[in-house]
Chains A and B, each alone.
Chain A
Amino acid sequence: MPNIVEIAVSTEGFSTLVAAVQAAGLVEALSGEGPLTVFAPTDDAFAKLPPGTVQTLVDNPPQLARILKYHVVAGRWAQSDIAKEESLPSLESSPIPVRVNSAFEVKNATVVAADIEATNGIIHVIDNVILMG
């Protein structure tokens, strides 16, 4: 079974996320033992951000890393586990509000593909980049 990074690299629609993870120097951390839960925004999700937003972040890896870490939670959290929670602590340290009702929502994003298993964790694909605050 591939790890989190290998799944992102080999799946269509995650080229921005992969480039961002590489620019932020997080490849190693996301390829490690984990386990980690990653809320992975699609290319379309990044494209929704106003012009310049992603470029400024890519030019500044520590700041980019901080935003990306907000998409990662320690531990293997499947949708059924998340359904029992109101929020999860991100690696950035800010909490991520979660809701599982008729839809599976992470802050202001909706999960479009849940429970993608990797050797070192689990991926939930989201339709928005989520931001702290």
Chain B
Amino acid sequence: MTTTIATAPTLPASTHQFAEVIHRLEAGGSMLPDTPDNLKQIIGIYKAYAVPMDFYWRDLLYIAEKVFLNPLPAFKYFISKEYLDRQNAYAGDQASLRIWRGPGDAHPELREFMAKGESGRKLPKLLHHLWHDRVNMEFAEACMDAMLWHEDINPTFNAYLYTDEYIANSDRAIRAYFKGNPLMLGLYKLFPEMFLEQVRRLSYYANLGLFWEVMAPVFFEMSDLYDEGKMTTVPEAMDFLVNGIFAIAGRPIYHHVYIGDECYEIIPKSQGFTWLYEAALPYVEAVFYRTAPFRGTKSYNAQAGQVPDDQKDFHYGILYADVFPVGSAGIPPTLLMQDMLHFLPDYLVEEYQQHSRGEDDMLIQLGITFQRSMYNVTSAVIQALRCALLYPLDDPNPEHLKANRAFFEQQIDRFKRPEARLDDIQQQSYR
């Protein structure tokens, strides 16, 4: 589907604060200006993001499906070989819908990093882990927690987690998992809600794992197309994402648990949950827009109104972030930046060395690149929603074009607040 067209002349100019962006969206463009440097930055960072993401989705599913309710999950980040070899549903020869032309098992760069880490030495896995020389799953878990906590954004999925059917499915799995363990079964009898809440959390691990299983091959393919000279503009990059969103929209979101040789369907595929409605859209809202104030980066005084009363007004996502990784361990955005640093393509490393403080502030530069790239992903989501819920950009009916504009303006209204970075990413000097 091509959405790049000439601006429809039938509407008067928008008077919105970000009129230029509105007009660009109406012409099939992205919130991110179409410049060669922006394209290079976003594609490079998609590739650097896709490699750790290839670990995130595998480990999220490993935790949801295998680690399950382990009361001492000290080794939950020590993913099994089975999950590293697991074929991505959208890459490799076995994929029914192949998005990435590469292999379906764990990415070679990921395997190499897992073996040697940043230090470049093959040490026991535990040492790499304790030294934090590894992929930082804490970031992935923070994203999952954001989706769990902002429960209002995923009403159908969330409502199911409190149904008798879900509770009965969970009960079967809990009893099977702790079979022969009177202590845990006794605790379950005393505090059933505590266990159920853990299962609900694990259902969100599965949800996010299934979401990212799609995004990793999407980003790998975009990177390959760019390297081959087949992706040449920012709108092309956005359209690739829009088409991907539609192609995968109907993918089932489910939660299966494997105990022994049995599969326990906590959320069966037959429930009808879809990748678009129960994973992608809630993810964007929870992670790109809302999240929560990350402890340790800044102090907030809730009593002075510095934190909104209403969760829907939270604005701590990447689209609003003042990208400043303080380097403190445990702060999720910093951990993601550290993860991406290991897999930057050479052309981005060279670019960062030429700007700002070179290697000294590479984490900040790549964090801002990541912010640009997520404005492009958000643009793809906005265009996909427009396409699904409203009208073509070249619709001949002026009323339909007005409805499109009202939709775009409503979406961009969210970036009027001072923390938003929409204005900044219009400037190439923002690094």
Contact = CB atoms under 8 A, between A and B. Distances in A.
B226 interface: no
Contact of A63 (B250, B389, B400): B250
Interface stretch (A2-10, A11-19, A47-55, A79-87): A47-55
Q: Using C-beta atoms within 8 Å of the partner chain, give the interface range for chain A.
A: 20 to 34
17 contacts: A50-B243, A50-B247, A50-B387, A51-B1, A51-B247, A52-B243, A52-B248, A56-B248, A59-B96, A60-B252, A62-B270, A63-B250, A65-B272, A66-B274, A67-B250, A107-B389, A108-B391
A51 B243 contact: yes
B274 A50 contact: no
Contacts of B247: 50-53, 56
A63 B252 contact: yes
Given A50-B242, A56-B97, A59-B96, A64 B250 contact: yes
Nearest to A133: B389
Nearest to A110: B397
B390 A53 contact: no
Interface of B: 1, 96-97, 242-243, 246-252, 269-274, 277, 281, 385, 387-391, 400
A60 B254 CA distance: 12
A107 B270 CA distance: 27
Contacts of B97: 52, 55-56
Given A52-B248, A59-B96, A133-B385, 16 more contacts: A49-B246, A50-B246, A50-B387, A51-B243, A51-B247, A52-B97, A52-B243, A55-B97, A56-B97, A60-B252, A62-B269, A62-B270, A63-B251, A63-B252, A63-B272, A133-B389
Contacts of A116: none
Interface in A97-118: 107-108
Contacts of B387: 50
B272 A108 contact: no
A59 B97 CA distance: 11
A132 to B, nearest CB: 7
Contacts of B385: 133
